Amino acid sequence: MTENSDRLPVILIALLKGVVYREDNSRKWQDLIDHQGPVRDYLSVIGLELMFFEDEGFAFLKNRERDDDANEIPQLIVRRQLSYPVSLLLAQLRRKLAEHDASSGEERLIIDKQEIIDLMGTFFVSGSNEVQFVRKVDGALQKVYELGFIRFLGDKKEKIEVKRIIKAFVDAQWLQEFDTRIEEYLEYGKGNQVSGEAADE
């Protein structure tokens, strides 16, 4: 094998482990650019598709679109059902990123945790138990962090960076329909007041 071909397994393993970011490893990112063809060919054999966002600086894998063929390859990437608080938080963060991109020349969007709590509070009736409400928001933030859409900054995690990969998952159509779902969100929040009940996670 040449040094050039030796890099292909490194790229494939990185993609199979998760999202590849330009900012994390510039050499691996350049290797991905140089090897897009072989990477796509290999992934297609195992039923995966490369989602490559060169301008935004990230790449990840998704299942290839399926047909009705009985011999279709089993899906390697499992879709996750998200709870209401997590879905709502993702929509809010995606909207903030769109507003940021429209009004700022800065690439990074960093938000105070308190601002997120205030945003979420619009859709939940917190009642008398503010601690339980903040715990619910913390749980949603942790899940969104585990999904790779945010990064906590500082030891106290009071500032949060919204990672741009959220744009690939919370798409423009969802964002456009956000306003039409506001009443649904509010009704849900009224029926799930944060008191002594267990938080949705």
Q: Is 142 exposed, middle or buried (0-12, 13-18, 19+ CB in 10 A)?
A: middle
Q: Which residue has the higher pLDDT, 193 or 131?
A: 131
Q: Which residue has the higher pLDDT, 129 or 164?
A: 164
Q: Where are the alpha helices (DSSP H) in the chain?
A: 3-17, 26-34, 36-45, 84-103, 113-121, 130-146, 166-169, 172-176, 182-191
- Most confident listed range (28-32, 81-85, 103-107, 166-170): 28-32
Is the pLDDT at 196 greater than 60, yes or no?
A: no
Q: Residue holding tokens 């598709």? A: 49
pLDDT of residue 83: 78
The CA distance from 12 to 29, in Å, is 12
pTM across the whole model: 0.69
For the segment 21-60, what is each residue's pLDDT rounded down to a tens digit?
Answer: 998 889 999 999 999 999 999 998 888 899 999 988 999 9
CATH code assigned to 3-63: 1.10.10
The CA distance from 116 to 163, in Å, is 15
Task: Assign 1 a pLDDT band (cuts: 50, 70, 90).
Answer: very low
pLDDT of residue 148: 87
Contact criterion met (CB below 8 Å) for 161 and 149: no
Task: Assign 168 a pLDDT band (cuts: 50, 70, 90).
Answer: confident
pLDDT of residue 195: 42
Cα–Cα nearest to 162, from 174, 179, 175, 144: 144
SS3 43: helix
List the structure tokens of 162: 């919204």
Task: Assign 199 a pLDDT band (cuts: 50, 70, 90).
Answer: very low
Is the pLDDT at 77 greater than 80, yes or no?
A: no
Q: Which residue has the higher pLDDT, 68 or 20?
A: 20
Q: Where, residue-wise, is CATH 1.10.10.2260 in the chain?
A: 84-191
pLDDT of residue 91: 86
pLDDT of residue 70: 47
Q: Domain 84-191 is of which CATH architecture? A: Orthogonal Bundle (1.10)
pLDDT of residue 201: 42
pLDDT of residue 132: 84
